[in-house]
């Protein structure tokens, strides 16, 4: 079974910094600390309203880290231009509405097919590996394939919400939806990642799905870091993922 990679999302280090408008805590320092703790890559989302990560953060992180940068972005002309200039290893296309606290649903790869395909083509031509953040549904995966994205990231938000709400039946149904989607993605030749709302236990369980080869995790890890430090939080996450993979 392939090793499961951990991408650490450092957006909320910038959220804390921006609460005071100064320079600390520095997301670039967090990115380097995450890599030292065992992250396989860094994920950062440059939002249209720049509510956390800034353009300068992206440039600084890109220059500082020796591991892949996964640049989360909306499929807008502005973001495509920034990505093509910055040339991160990967770009993950996500939906974006100003009022959202976070990325609430998967990308509309069916209704927005041609728009997403055009952004994907421009990014791919710039040498950037494109991933599409989609709902764990067959139709979305098939649209991702027809868009010619090499990677999909399955949205784990509905599962995470059901787990945290203690809705056992719904959580199990959502988990089976993720499992089936991962398997279908592999059948279509799509590399499969997953993320959103994951904690240690959820990451351990998801690690048992062999077709998933990368998890992108942010909010929980930055929250844990307040209590145990970023290094310990990432090492505990890595251990949970390895345990889940090993048991599968």
Residues known to be catalytic: 45, 72, 196
Q: Name the 3-class secondary structure at 219.
A: helix
Q: Does 103 bind ligand PXP (CB under 6 A)?
A: yes
Which residue, 170 or 219, is less far from ligand PXP as judged by CB? 219
Q: How far is the CB of 217 from ligand PXP (least distance, A)?
A: 4
Q: Does 45 bind ligand PXP (CB under 6 A)?
A: yes
Which helix (H) or strand (E) segment holds residue 81: the answer is helix 77-86
Joined together, the tokens standing for residue 224 give 């844990």
Q: Which residues in the 227-246 window bind ligand PXP by CB under 6 A?
A: none
Q: Does 219 bind ligand PXP (CB under 6 A)?
A: yes
Which residue, 28 or 215, is less far from ligand PXP as judged by CB? 215
Joined together, the tokens standing for residue 37 give 């703790």
Q: How far is the CB of 79 from ligand PXP (least distance, A)?
A: 13
Q: Which residues in the 107-146 window bind ligand PXP by CB under 6 A?
A: 133
Using CB under 6 A, pick the residue from 71, 134, 220, 245 that binds ligand PXP: 220
Q: Does 153 bind ligand PXP (CB under 6 A)?
A: yes
Residue 129 φ/ψ, nearest 5 degrees: -80, 120
Q: How far is the CB of 178 from ligand PXP (least distance, A)?
A: 14
Distance set, CA 129 to CA 21, 45, 94, 152 (Å): 33, 16, 14, 11
Q: Does 196 bind ligand PXP (CB under 6 A)?
A: yes
Q: How many CB atoms lie within 10 A of CB 168?
A: 10
Q: Does 214 bind ligand PXP (CB under 6 A)?
A: no
Residues of 109-136 as b/e, b for ≥16 C-beta within 10 angstroms? beebeeebbebbebbeebebbbbbbbbb
Using CB under 6 A, pick the residue from 4, 6, 8, 9 that binds ligand PXP: 9
Q: How far is the CB of 248 from ligand PXP (least distance, A)?
A: 22
Q: Does 106 bind ligand PXP (CB under 6 A)?
A: no
Closest by CA position to 217, among listed 201, 190, 194: 194
Closest by CA position to 110, among listed 146, 159, 158: 146
What does the chain come to in residues? 248
Binding residues (CB under 6 A) for ligand PXP: these are 9, 11, 45, 72, 92, 94, 102-103, 133, 153, 195-198, 216-220
């Amino acid at each position: 079974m392939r090793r499961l990679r951990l991408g650490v999302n450092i957006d909320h280090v910038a959220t804390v910094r921006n609460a005071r408008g100064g320079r600390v805590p520095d997301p670039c320092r967090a990115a380097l600390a995450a890599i030292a703790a065992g992250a396989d890559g860094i994920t950062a989302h440059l939002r249209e309203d720049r509510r956390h990560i800034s353009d300068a953060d992206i440039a600084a992180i890109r220059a500082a880290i020796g591991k892949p940068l996964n640049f989360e972005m909306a499929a807008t002309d502005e973001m495509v231009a920034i990505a093509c200039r910055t040339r991160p290893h990967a770009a993950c296309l996500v939906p974006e509405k100003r009022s959202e606290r976070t990325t609430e649903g998967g990308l509309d790869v069916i209704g927005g097919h041609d728009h997403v395909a055009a952004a994907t083509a421009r990014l791919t031509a710039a040498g950037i590996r494109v991933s599409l953040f989609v709902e764990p549904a067959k139709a979305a995966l098939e649209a991702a394939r027809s868009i010619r994205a090499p990677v999909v990231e399955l949205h784990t938000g509905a599962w995470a919400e059901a787990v945290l709400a203690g809705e056992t039946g719904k959580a199990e149904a959502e988990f089976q939806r993720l499992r089936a989607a991962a398997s279908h993605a592999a059948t279509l030749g799509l590399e499969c990642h997953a993320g959103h709302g994951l904690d240690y236990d959820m990451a351990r369980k998801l690690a048992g799905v062999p077709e998933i080869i990368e998890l992108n995790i942010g909010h929980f890890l930055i929250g844990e870091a307040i209590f145990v430090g970023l290094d310990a939080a990432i090492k505990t996450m890595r251990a949970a993922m390895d345990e889940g993979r090993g048991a599968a």
